[in-house]
Amino acid sequence: MRWGVVVFPGSNCDRDCLFVLRRVLGHEAVAIWHEERILPPVDAVVLPGGFSYGDYLRSGAIAALSPIMAAVGRAARSGLPVLGICNGFQILCEARLLPGALLPNADGLFHCQPATLRVENNRTLFTRGFSLGEAVRMPIAHGQGCYYADPATFDRLERSGLILLRYCNARGEVTGEANPNGSLGNVAGISNEEGNVIGLMPHPERACEALLGSTDGLRLFLSAGSKEPVEEFRPSYAGSALG
Amino acid sequence: MIRARVSILPKRTVFDPQGEAVRHALGHFGLSGVERVRVGKEIELEIPGEGDPAEIRSRLETIARDFLANPVVEEYELHIEGLP
């Protein structure tokens, strides 16, 4: 499996993603500068978290017009798996590869904390390693993660099972108290109709080693990047986080 | 010289935490009873006034709708000065 991680000016989770893909999963992964016009040969693309272009205009709006995004859009429409994390999710919405938009958190605060997410659909490329209804843990770190879509679009997401993850409490219950940012329907992650493009606000790359409190994020990368059952995976290095 | 201004506000259907924080603070300022505040932005573009006016207007409308504003969550108005 060969991954491409796009680097925008202001990306700050690109190295975390590359570390996880290379050192924890043992896959190939290349960094792709945003000014590239052609994607190198890769099996999947990650748009990492960060604050591309300082969140100027709107989060993700300027990055969505980067030369590489035209290539990512063409590849996504041809079926290439694309994973947008945090700012990457915002970029995918701004590029209209995913529906809706991410607004400032309803309480006006930046939230950097562990989050619990209920798996709402485990039949997609990136979520097949989870059980349906399972509560998984990954951190969030964002100021603009309040998912919004107009009522007709949101209804279509619900009916088509395109909502993959919702914020929930420790018992797996989707409640208002468990919603950190005011997202419609507690949405934390969605996919496109074809299932190859997904975006989520939580950071799976920060939940890939037991030392960091959760390995649930690893299962998301493994879902897309491995033919073997996710449970049988062993990290490629021998135990040390520093590899 | 053509001067275009794009005024952008969060849609009324969308919660605007920034506007709500300003509305709350207006009470401290002594102006209570403000029902709603929306905070947006204004973007000014200056472009040479050469070319087909209809085409310039059409391009500015596309830029406002597809890039400067996000119609999913924002409404905008485009004002153009200096276009014949």
Render pLDDT for A148-187 as a digit per residue (tens, 0 to 9): 999 999 999 999 999 999 999 999 999 999 999 999 999 9
Q: What residue type is assigned to position B4 of the chain?
A: A
- For A197-223, the pLDDT digits (tens) are 999 999 999 999 999 999 999 999 999
- Are residues A112 and A152 in contact, defined by beta-carbon separation less than 8 angstroms? no
Domains and CATH numbers, chain B: 2-81 (3.30.1280.10)
Of A193-197, A231-235, B6-10, where does mean pLDDT reach its minimum? A231-235
> Which chain A residues are within 8 Å of B15, Cβ to Cβ?
103, 106, 146, 182
Q: For all residues of chain B together, what is the average pLDDT?
A: 94
CB nearest to A103's CB, from B14, B20, B67: B14
Residue with the two structure tokens 């997609």: A124
The pLDDT-based confidence of A232 (bands split at 50, 70, 90) is: low
Please say if the pLDDT value at position A237 is more than 80: no
The pLDDT-based confidence of A235 (bands split at 50, 70, 90) is: low
The yes or no reply on domain A2-232 and CATH 3.40.50.880 is yes
CB-based contact (8 Å) between B62 and chain A? no
Size of interface A-B (CB pairs under 8 A): 34
The pLDDT-based confidence of A239 (bands split at 50, 70, 90) is: very low
Q: What is the ipTM of this complex?
A: 0.90
Q: How far apart are CA B55 and CA A74, in angstroms?
A: 28
- For A84-134, the pLDDT digits (tens) are 999 999 999 999 999 999 999 999 999 999 999 999 999 999 999 999 999
CB-based contact (8 Å) between B17 and chain A? yes
Sheet holding B41-47, edge to edge: B41-47, B2-10, B74-81
Q: Where are the alpha helices (DSSP H) in A11-144?
A: 14-19, 67-77, 87-94
For residue B60, the Cα-to-chain-centroid distance in whole angstroms is: 13
Nearest Cα of chain B lies from the Cα of A134 at a distance, in angstroms, of 30
